[in-house]
Amino acid sequence: MTIFDLALTMTPGLGVKGTAHLLECFASADEIFAASSHELISRAALHEEVARRIVRREGLRAAEREAEYCRRHGISIVASTDAEYPPLMRLTADYPHVIYVRGSIEALHMRTLSMVGTREISPSGQHLCDRLVKELSERIPDLCIVSGLAYGVDAACHRAALAYGARTVAVIANALPDVTPAPHRRLAEEIVARGGAIVSELHSQRRQNGALFLARNRIIAAMSQGLVVVESPASGGSLATAAMADGYDRTVMALPGRITDVSSRGTNNLIRNHKARLVMTADDIIEDMMWDTASATTHSHDSRADIVLSAAEATLLACFTDGDIDRDRLADASGLSPGELSQLLMDLELKGAVRPLPGRRYEKI
CA distance 14 to 24: 14
pLDDT confidence of residue 100: 98
pLDDT confidence of residue 211: 66
pLDDT confidence of residue 333: 85
Query: Computed over its alpha carbons, how large is the radius of gyration of the chain?
Result: 21
What contacts 322, CB < 8 A, 6 or more positions away? none
Question: Within the chain, which residues score under 50 in pLDDT?
Answer: 296-306
pLDDT confidence of residue 302: 39
Max intra-chain CA distance, the chain: 63
Specify the DSSP element, H or E, that contains 157.
Answer: helix 153-163
pLDDT confidence of residue 359: 65
For the purposes of burial, counting CB atoms within 10 Å of the CB of 61, is it exposed (0-12), middle (13-18) or buried (19 or more)?
exposed
pLDDT confidence of residue 364: 81
Give me the sign of the Cα torsion angle 82, 86, 91, 93. Answer: negative
pLDDT confidence of residue 158: 97
pLDDT confidence of residue 278: 97
Nearest to 198 by CA among 185, 212, 217, 211: 185
pLDDT confidence of residue 29: 96
Q: Which domains does the chain have, with CATH numbers?
A: 1-73 (1.10.150), 109-166+207-294 (3.40.50.450), 301-364 (1.10.10.10)
